[in-house]
Chains A and B, each alone.
Chain A
Amino acid sequence: MKMTYREAVRAALRESLANDSRVFLMGEDVGRYGGAYACSRGLLEEFGPERVRDTPLSESTFVGAGIGAALGGMRPIVEVMTVNFSLLALDQIVNNAALLRHMSGGQFSVPLVVRMATGAGRRVAAQHSHSLEGWYAHIPGITVLVPATVHDARYMLGCALREPDPVFIFEHFMLYTGEGEVNENLGSIDIRKAVIRREGKDVTLISSGGSLGKTVHAAEVLELEGIDTEVIDLRVLRPLDTPTILASVAKTHRAVIVDEAWYTGSFAAEVSARIMEGAFYELDAPVMRVCSAEVPIPYAMHLEDAALPQTDTIVNAVKKLIGVSL
């Protein structure tokens, strides 16, 4: 069945609310407005104001209230409008959600799901264009999901709600309008595993979330030039599925990591380090990274485009790598 990413998120929310009376949705403008990205449109009318709750602009407190409600027996889905605003809730996420189980000696689990939009590409300038999911992946105690496809957007939420511990879902805002296939028969997703989106033998491209489309496109361009690329969609940044990455690198002997975060300290650096530790002797060339330029994301279209990973920068990185190693 074909639908947009936004429709997939909405279908997942509707299903979760319908299937479990402990589930409720809260966040800024999720109710009457229908969600900043229209993901929850119609859900207030369908499920009522107790279960689809508009909150004040108090990120720290409504995320913290989500943690408290989870402790109290509910299964909250908290929508933070964007990752940019989630910085106002970092205290609750890092100091409470992630730590509570361990800090209490295993007495309290926090079955909380937090969804937020992430990424750049819509000319919304520096304060609305962060890609910080890699930061969250630094923190033990939480799971970090990055649905890159419509199918994953449809089914990851249900998997997240079955987790007894906090799960953060990052939805790249450029994906919402994209259409894709949803396969009901493949419903459940293993949220411990990366997935190979395209098989190849010459080089492994490792990507996730909003960068996956550009990466797959780059692979198609490279194919025309006779370079056979494998594309891995990480799907989950924590826990990172290292074995899938290492197995692919053992096959192709080359790796390029595509990550919309800034180069320094990016999640791509973590992936690179795992490859060094686990597959160093398999490598025919240095691991390379295609990341965002080290600049606040600018407003003007040509500057923003230049700051972000693009199909041609990925293609050029791969060609350079192959040139070096052949």
Chain B
Amino acid sequence: MSSSIESTPPKAIHDLTLFRQMLLIRRFEEKCAEQYTVGKIQGFLHLYIGEEAIAVGAMQALTQEDNIVATYREHGHALVRGMSPGVAMAEMYGKANGCSRGRGGSMHLFDAKLRFFGGYAIVGGNLPLAVGLALADQLQKRSAITACFFGDGAVAEGEFHESLNLAALWKLPVLFLCENNLYAMGTHIARHQAQIDIAHKADAYGLPGEAVDGMDVRAVESAVRRATESVRAGAGPRLLELRTYRFRAHSMYDAELYRSKDEVEKWKERDPITSFAAKLQSEGLLTEADRSSLEQEIAAEIAAAVAFAEAGAWEPVDDLLKDVHTPSVIR
């Protein structure tokens, strides 16, 4: 790959970046699942496999000044934002060299330098924070916007409705990104929403809503670019509903009794990675050899991430109470 890059046009380089980032998330999470089964990763582990096009597409339109607020299914978002796979893996191991020093785990990845304001495990509870971050930017006359990811399950929470209303009322620079994978844990959207058209719900709060194919990374990127331009220009918040599907179980405990194998297989035909690879190949941007060297590169990166996590120290138990409050020296 690297040898051919100099002669590759920028658009093609960009496409290959999208592909690489999706593949990195996929392989990283496959490794996470493996590490979970051998007990290296514990607790809850929610995989993003199948939904990678959303984090990758959306993140292209966001600048380093922008704020990211995510959910408990946020490994992909953290990686695309720039968190090193080793630091993310170490956090899942519960090690002190993890991003949250082993205090958060898989569901609570944070990185202040990346303005990655975290993974939140209470469904809907992250939306008000995004509204507040946007309010802070508006009051401080910063040009940043806040991107808030959440799932279709959050749409049933009062905080979704309150947050859309408040953001629209105050014209706050928030981009609400609903990753609609059709299931709130195991409950299909048609079994928890009277109105299953999520984008349409924006109408009630006077902000634009749009549904996008969340399995198509280019479609996601272009929709998010349009939306961020409008939000950044001060036109108020927007809602994008990104239609996608989770290929794996909700968490590692889920026996998937609520959906058929056929349904999952049918969605896998639209796998965002294989379908984009096919596109790139048909456009002459990706050869089999490119793909195989990319796989090797990523495998090495993930092996290094695992090694970093393995080598990490455990936070001393003496530090158990550390960071409940800000140390008084900072006061």
| Chain A residues in the interface with B (C-beta under 8 A) | 24, 50, 55-56, 58, 60-74, 76, 91-92, 95-96, 100-109, 140-141, 162-165
Query: Could you give 27 example pairs across A and B, Cβ below 8 Å?
Result: A56-B165, A58-B158, A61-B128, A64-B127, A65-B129, A65-B135, A67-B132, A68-B130, A68-B136, A69-B133, A70-B136, A72-B137, A96-B129, A100-B118, A103-B118, A104-B108, A105-B98, A105-B99, A106-B101, A106-B322, A106-B326, A108-B110, A108-B118, A109-B330, A141-B324, A141-B325, A165-B326
Q: In the assembly, what is the distance between CA of A105 and CA of B83, in Å?
A: 15
> How many residue pairs, one in A and one in B, have C-beta atoms under 8 Å apart?
148
Given A56-B165, A61-B159, A101-B324; A91-B125 close (CB under 8 Å): yes
Please determine whether B326 and A91 come into contact, CB atoms closer than 8 angstroms. Answer: no
Please determine whether B326 and A60 come into contact, CB atoms closer than 8 angstroms. Answer: no
Please determine whether A67 and B323 come into contact, CB atoms closer than 8 angstroms. Answer: no
Closest CB in chain B relative to A300 CB, distance in Å: 34
Closest CB in chain A relative to B92 CB, distance in Å: 13
| Chain B residues in the interface with A (C-beta under 8 A) | 67, 98-104, 108, 110-112, 117-118, 120, 122, 125, 127-137, 139-140, 146, 158-159, 162-163, 165-166, 169, 322-326, 330-331
Given A96-B125, A105-B323, A107-B112; A50-B103 close (CB under 8 Å): no
When distances are taken between beta carbons in the complex, the residues of chain A under 8 Å from B130 are: 68
Counting from the closest, the 4 A-B pairs by CB-CB distance are: A68-B132, A64-B128, A72-B136, A105-B101
| Max count, chain A CB within 10 A of own CB: residue among B111, B128, B130, B131 | B128
User: Which residue of chain B has the shortest Cβ distance to A64 in the bound complex?
Assistant: B128
Q: In the assembly, what is the distance between CA of A141 and CA of B118, in Å?
A: 18
Please determine whether A56 and B162 come into contact, CB atoms closer than 8 angstroms. Answer: yes
When distances are taken between beta carbons in the complex, the residues of chain A under 8 Å from B322 are: 106
Please determine whether B104 and A103 come into contact, CB atoms closer than 8 angstroms. Answer: yes
When distances are taken between beta carbons in the complex, the residues of chain B under 8 Å from A141 are: 324-325
Please determine whether A95 and B122 come into contact, CB atoms closer than 8 angstroms. Answer: yes
Q: In the assembly, what is the distance between CA of A63 and CA of B159, in Å?
A: 11
When distances are taken between beta carbons in the complex, the residues of chain A under 8 Å from B162 are: 56, 58, 60-61
When distances are taken between beta carbons in the complex, the residues of chain A under 8 Å from B127 are: 61, 64
| Max count, chain B CB within 10 A of own CB: residue among A95, A101, A107, A162 | A107
Q: In the assembly, what is the distance between CA of A162 and CA of B120, in Å?
A: 27
User: Which residue of chain A has the shortest Cβ distance to B172 in the bound complex?
Assistant: A65
Closest CB in chain B relative to A96 CB, distance in Å: 6
Please determine whether B323 and A164 come into contact, CB atoms closer than 8 angstroms. Answer: no
Given A65-B132, A67-B128, A68-B131; A103-B325 close (CB under 8 Å): no
Closest CB in chain A relative to B131 CB, distance in Å: 5
Please determine whether A64 and B103 come into contact, CB atoms closer than 8 angstroms. Answer: no
| Max count, chain B CB within 10 A of own CB: residue among A103, A104, A109 | A104
Q: In the assembly, what is the distance between CA of A66 and CA of B125, in Å?
A: 13
Q: In the assembly, what is the distance between CA of A58 and CA of B164, in Å?
A: 11
When distances are taken between beta carbons in the complex, the residues of chain B under 8 Å from A65 are: 128-129, 131-132, 135, 166
Given A56-B162, A65-B128, A69-B133; A165-B108 close (CB under 8 Å): no
When distances are taken between beta carbons in the complex, the residues of chain B under 8 Å from A69 are: 132-133, 135-136, 139
Q: In the assembly, what is the distance between CA of A104 and CA of B129, in Å?
A: 15
Please determine whether A103 and B100 come into contact, CB atoms closer than 8 angstroms. Answer: yes
| Max count, chain A CB within 10 A of own CB: residue among B117, B122, B135, B169 | B135
Please determine whether A104 and B103 come into contact, CB atoms closer than 8 angstroms. Answer: yes
* 16 more A-B residue pairs beyond the given contacts A67-B132, A104-B118, A107-B100, with a C-beta to C-beta distance below 8 A: A60-B158, A61-B166, A64-B127, A65-B129, A68-B131, A69-B136, A70-B132, A72-B140, A100-B118, A101-B324, A101-B325, A101-B326, A103-B110, A104-B110, A141-B324, A164-B330
